[in-house]
Amino acid sequence: MSAVKMTEGSLQVEVCKAPLFFRQSEPATGEARMSVLLLHGIRFSSENWLNIGTLETLAKAGCRAVAIDLPGLGRSKSAKAPAAVGELAPASFLKEVCEQLSLSPVVVVSPSLSGMYSLPFLLQHQALIRAYIPVAPICTEKFSAEQYQSVKVPALIVYGDQDAQLGEASLHNLSNLANHRVVVMKGAGHPCYLDDPDTWHKALTDFLNTL
């Protein structure tokens, strides 16, 4: 069993007015081979990634993984969410998070609500992103097929086959990404990674091994 180092901390992002909480896992020995940023949905927080073992799985796979609590949620409740004016604020918010935590180039895992941050970030700063793993994110309809086609970052589109609403809508839009593959998790709902962590972890690590 490879040893894993787990830490917690907070970072100050200018636009949020109050600190953001994060959890981090990394291999206890040796250099991490890549950085992964774990975002979350509206009813969730970084704690979910801890509880289902994603932080540990990534560290054992040789990655440094950081799971943040998004502004207004989890243990970042007093942090203010950036206004989505012209979609610049959400993109620069994640850019600042990655800069402060020295994550670039980063693999972004983005379920549900976090799409409002990760999609603008992907479209405006793809040079900072090593790969993109959307899990039925919101806001996919806000961008055109041409915008998606301009993204060359490798993407793994994941959703549960019981997520008839967001899963299929997000797939329809995200399948315009130039370099993507799709994993449909059988019998899993909207937070498919919670329904079947083993399948999720296998899909995640298999994909990271291709990067």
Domains of the chain with CATH codes: 4-209 (3.40.50.1820)
Residue 88 has a pLDDT of 61
β-pair type (155-160, 34-38): unpaired
Closest by Cα among 54, 46, 36, 49 to 75: 46
Q: Which of 112, 114, 118, 170 is catalytic?
A: 112
For residue 112, indicate whether it is catalytic: yes
Q: Which of 40, 180, 190, 201 is catalytic?
A: 190
Q: In what order do the strands lie in the sheet with 63-68?
A: 4-11, 20-27, 63-68, 34-38, 106-111, 129-135, 155-160, 180-185
Q: Which of 35, 110, 163, 170 is catalytic?
A: 163
- Give 51's pLDDT tier (boundaries 50, 70, 90): very high
The fraction of the chain above a pLDDT of 70, given in percent, is 96
Residue 205 has a pLDDT of 98
- E-strand spans in the chain? 4-11, 20-27, 34-38, 63-68, 106-111, 129-135, 155-160, 180-185
pLDDT average, residue stretch 65-76? 96
Q: Are 46 and 66 in contact (CB under 8 A)?
A: no
For residue 110, indicate whether it is catalytic: no
Torsion of CA 162, 207, 54, 33, to 10 degrees: -160
- Give 86's pLDDT tier (boundaries 50, 70, 90): very low
- Give 211's pLDDT tier (boundaries 50, 70, 90): very high
The fraction of the chain above a pLDDT of 90, given in percent, is 86
Residue 84 has a pLDDT of 58
Alpha-carbon 10 to chain mean position: 18
For residue 190, indicate whether it is catalytic: yes
- Check whether 87 has a pLDDT greater than 70: no
